Amino acid sequence: MGLHIGDEAPDFSAPTTEGTIRFHEWIGDSWVILFSHPKDFTPVCTTELGYLARLKPEFDKRNTKVIGLSIDSVDDHRRWAGDIAETQGTALNYPLIGDTDLVVAKLYDMIHPNASGNAASRTAVDNATVRSVFLIGPDKKIKLTMTYPMSAGRNFDEVLRALDAVQLNAKHTVATPVNWRPGEDVIIPTSVSEEAAKAKYPGGWKTLKPYLRFVPQPK
């Protein structure tokens, strides 16, 4: 059965480049970006891992941990890390999970449950669907998922923007409109009545339709 927004993120124990972790324990009271790769030493993923290492301070500011996964061993990850630092100009600064037996990939429905073999016997094409991003909250629930094909590099600036939107919603019960950026107006959800909105936003709001009410972003 697939995973959906609102489901609890499956817990697991796994080796990583920073030691063995128990996932839920490692999350603690943080938010988490878990993102996956079909194979080490692949071109698109090399650029992604390097870019996310540069972007990691922004996730740190948002109480968000970053962790990667690839269908290879931790030893392979460590060798790959040298290439990433050399070609992308930034060293890895977050853990990479070694998933040689596909356990985590299957747990998160990133690969067919009947997939067989181990990392050494499988190619990147065999693992092509292992290209997902999961945003997980401190409550260990899945808040957002994205899956990309191997040929399309992920936009981690968009992942950061989406994280801002999800965290804002969790704190203030607002929604964000198309292409929203931090600091721009937000939407009062239809679940908030007029009476509740008056109490919450005494300064008022802009109504385009009864179901479309804009208000400045709460602090």
pLDDT at 1: 59
Average pLDDT over residues 184-204: 95
pLDDT tens for 84-139 read 999 999 999 999 999 999 999 999 999 988 888 888 889 999 999 999 999 999 99
Neighbouring residues of 46: CB distance < 8 A, sequence distance ≥ 6: 80, 83, 84, 87, 88
Which residues are known catalytic residues? 45
Q: How confident is the model at residue 219 (pLDDT cuts 50, 70, 90)?
A: confident
How many Cβ atoms are within 10 Å of 35's Cβ, its own excluded? Answer: 24
Residue ranges and CATH numbers for the domains of the chain are 7-153 (3.40.30.10), 172-216 (3.30.1020.10)
**C-alpha triplet 183, 188, 194: angle, nearest 5°:** 140
pLDDT at 175: 98
pLDDT at 166: 98
**Backbone CA torsion sign across 51, 52, 57, 62:** positive
Instruction: At 34, list the tokens.
Output: 């878990």
Contact 88, 6 (CB under 8 A): no
pLDDT tens for 146-156 read 999 999 999 99
Buried-state track 91-118, b at ≥16 Cβ within 10 A, e below 16: ebebbbbbbbebebbbbbbbbeeebeee
